[in-house]
A and B are shown apart, each in its own frame.
Chain A
Amino acid sequence: MSLLTLEGLDLRHGLLEAVRGVSLELGEGEVLALVGANGAGKTTLLRGIAGAHRPAAGRILLEGTDITRVPAYQRVRMGIALVPEGRRLFANLTVEENLLVAAQRARRGGWTIDAVIEAFPMLEALRRQRAATLSGGEGQAAAIGRALMTNPRLLLLDEVSLGLAPVAVDAVYAALRAVIAAGTTVLLVDQDFTRAAGLADRVVCMLEGRFVLEGKGSELTREQITDAYFGLGRAMAVAG
């Protein structure tokens, strides 16, 4: 049985259909990279899986259990954690408090505050600092660490490398490799296609709310990906 199943998921912003009829199966331990242009619906989809956005239609199943109506905070306890776009740390709390607050009702597991600091050593010095003072890379480390504190089975990452210096991205991806090695299922969104595809077992490309391309990163040609990204194939099909 797959860990995560999406069946015909529809997510809307008012009248705007952000995610249309998306279906997906994600196995335990799998790593999926979700790519696509801005506005394709990636963030909305991730938020839908995490429970922050109620679907207009469709179902979400976690290991066979229908969690479509389950609120976000309960999904965290069931093992789904989202690292939101832009980090969204609690600016007025210290780094340590940010980590602790996520651990309140977390699942049991290996990710304690010490384990997280070990995975992101830069955080040790920043423990007592207000989260608002962190740089981009530090913040991203803290945000991922915060999500890890809940001991997730499924880790969702939205725009991992956005606004980060390459060095910082390196550190983040190194940590992600450790997380994956530990058996966590990962669904990640990243503008940096190469890095994301390099980490992932599978790549899915989204355009205007739909999945338009799927496959192993190594199998997809640059042309296929560009077309899927910008929807050129579709436009040409319509005009022709």
Chain B
Amino acid sequence: MKGARIQRWTPASLSFTSGFGLLIVALAFVPVVMGASIVQDLTTLLILVLMAVMWNALAGYGGLVSVGQQAYIGLGAYATLWCALQGINPYWGMVIATAFCAVVSVPLSFIVLRFRGAQFAIGTWVVAEAIGIYISFDNQLGAGTGTSLSQLDRYAPSTREHITYWLTLGLTAFFVLLVFVLLRSRLGASLQAIRDDEEAAASVGVRVLAGKRILFILAAAGCGAAGAMTIANILFIQPTSIFSVNYSAFMIFMVLVGGLGTFEGPIIGAIILYFIQQQFGNDGTWYLIGLGATAIIFALLFPRGIWGMLEERTGLRFMPVGYRVKRTTTDAEATA
């Protein structure tokens, strides 16, 4: 009798996942082999990847469009600064800052998760604005004019860049892996259900709010890490820039262009944004106009993004987060 079995790993995805692992290892050796500017560029790229993956986790898998993740980027940066001011090694401070953002996001989730859709979006934005204003009152943290992470001066510039890079690589890989594990778990399936139809998911027993909360905390922690690494990378921050809604603009662009709701999409989007930034970053307003216009065009015409369209055409999927039903022709295969 003909049957089917569920397959999670295909030869393509198996080879790619191991390839991904090798990539991380290879990237770890970059500072040893390559020059300083490449290290700093890659750090920037990795931070973008992290932000994109986190935003996609919220919007692509949870259906939660956040326009306020900059709250955690800013908190991560300032928490790092605060730790450094207390005498803690700034790099440990970054890890603490990440955890801090996760903790802070819990009570905040009870406020903003009451909303959905546009109300949720603006709610997160207001929270980010409020936090930014509040931090700008603190003179110890540099108030409105900003301050720099001078505690990193104890390291020679190249050493500092290397450590920053490795920490960034480690944290980014950690969060990407976390998302991967999450998606392959039961939570992952229920999240996809939530995204597709919340009411239907709830009716079959999916704990919608709990699922969303996990995503929210994860994204907060990830963006907190991104913020911590941003301050390590650029050293000087001020409230208006680190709490700027432009970060949300970047995240939306990366995920929309790369592929909302896919695993690989945000990574691709980050790479694209990175090159655009390299090319046009100095053009200021025209560059941002271009980003905004592209976001509109993709939202209306190519909602699945580049990777989404590629996936649709070829059925290609590198990271095995989905399930494939494979038709079997013999009983032996069916029971395998």
- The reply, when asked whether chain A contacts chain B directly with Cβ atoms under 8 A, is no
Binding site for B on A (CB under 8 A): none
